[in-house]
Every structure is written in structure tokens, then in C-alpha cells.
Amino acid sequence: MWRFSLFLCCAALLPAQPAKYGVGRPATLDEIRGLGTAIAPDGTGLPEGSGTAAAGQELFAARCARCHGDKAQGGVGPVLVGGQGTLATAKPLKTVGSFWPYATTVWDYINRAMPFDQPGALKPPEVYALVAYLLNLNGIIPANQAMDAKTLPKVKMPNRDGFVPDPRPDVGRKR
């Protein structure tokens, strides 16, 4: 939905032009790889490797539970489980399971930002395992389903269709 947005029109308006100022040098492959991976919702950028909920549970206990609680119920860090069915209530609980529209985002965020005090320390199979554990804990995938570059983008998150475009100005009358 967001791929073919209105904004596409503008790219078509930009004819290929030669560089005008000629500053900088070509970015090297090493430089681009050195930035790490950014993961698209269709899975573009996901590295090799795979992991299961069982492996993820062990990792979580060792590296995440001290901040997020032993059952991901929250602590210093936010709660990572529950909340499905609450979004339209007076007390919505937004979690990975109830609110996040793409499983790829869970991978991308844990990979770039967690553990909070050791970001970038996890290897791809560990990130796959942690995502598998959190998705299973939220009842989204079965315990035996391994997560990898093929299976992860196919996971349909419960709130995939929960987002709408910005309709503003919706309040604030015009003179």
C-alpha cells in the first residue's frame, strides 16, 4: 500500500542528470555494508541465518529479561507481549504483538537497537530466534516455526491492516 504512494510521481520528474558539483567520491561496498542492514517490509535486506522460539527463549532469559521481565511483561524496558483486542478500548495496550504491523520491523529494531546497552551485539541467527520467541509468545506463530529471510516477511501480524493515511486537517476549522 505504501509502496505505490502518491510520492512516486516525483521520481518520474527527475531525469537522469550528470553530477553538477562533483563532490565526494563513490561510496564503496564496504562503506554501504558497514552501515549495517535496514530491512524493508517485503524482506529486502534480511541476512542469512535462522532461529526458533526455543533458542530465542534462552537468549531472551540471558540478554533481555533483566529489562523486559522474564515473561516480557515489561520492567525498565517496555512490555513486549499481550494487548491484542485492546486497541479500540479505553485502555489500549500497544505491543509488538498487538500493534506492530510488520514482523520485519521487529527484526530490524532488535538488530539495530537491542540489547539497549549493547546495541549491534546480536548475530543474525540470534535476532531470528528472538523474533521467533516474541512472535510465538504473542500467539502469532507456532513454537516450531523457524524464522529466516523467507518465512519472516510472510508472517501476517494481527494489526497489519490497522493503519490509515493522515486525514488532517480533520479538526480546526478554516476561516
Partner 1 sequence: MKDSAKSSRRQMFRLGAAVTGGLLAKRELAAQEATSKLGIPLGPYGERSPFEKAIRWTRDSKTPETGSSFTPLADSVGTLTPSSLHYERHHAGIPTIDPVQHRLIIHGMVERPLSLTMAEIRRLPSVTRTLVLECGGNSGSEWAAKTGADVQRSHGLVSCSEWTGVPLSLVLQEAGVKPGAAWVIAEGADACRMERSIPLAKAMDDILLAYGQNGEAIRPAQGYPLRLIIPGWEGNTNVKWLHSLKLTDQAYMARDETAKYTDLMPNGKARIFTYDMEAKSVITFPSGGQTLPGPGVYELTGLAWSGHGRVERVEITTDGGATWTQARLQEPRLPIAFTRFRLPWLFEGRDAVIGSRAIDETGYVQPTREALIEVRGVNSGYHYNGIKLWKVHAAGMVTNVEV
DSSP 102-151: -HHHHHHHHHHH-STTSTT---HHHHHHHHHHHHHHTTSS-TTPPEETTT
Which residues face 106 on adjacent strands? none
Q: Which stretch binds partner 1 (CB under 8 A): 39-47, 50-58, 136-144, 147-155?
A: 39-47
Q: How far is the CB of 92 from partner 1 (least distance, A)?
A: 5
In angstroms, the CA 56 to CA 134 distance is 8
Residue 157 touches ligand HEC, criterion: CB under 6 A: no
| 134 vs 149 by CB, closer to ligand HEC | 134
| 94 vs 172 by CB, closer to ligand HEC | 94
CA distances to 37, 43, 123, 140 from 32, in Å? 9, 18, 18, 33
Nearest to 51 by CA among 155, 156, 143, 160: 143
Cell of 97: 504483538
Q: How far is the CB of 25 from ligand HEC (least distance, A)?
A: 35
* Residue among 13, 23, 27, 76 that touches ligand HEC (CB under 6 A): 76
Residue 39 touches ligand HEC, criterion: CB under 6 A: no
Provide the 10 A C-beta neighbour count for residue 39.
24
Residue 146 touches partner 1, criterion: CB under 8 A: no
* Residue among 54, 62, 116, 139 that touches partner 1 (CB under 8 A): 116
In the stretch 48-77, what mask flags binding to partner 1 with x, by CB under 8 A? Answer: ----------------------------xx
The site for ligand HEC (CB under 6 A) is made up of 63-64, 66-68, 76-78, 80, 95-96, 106, 109-110, 114-117, 130
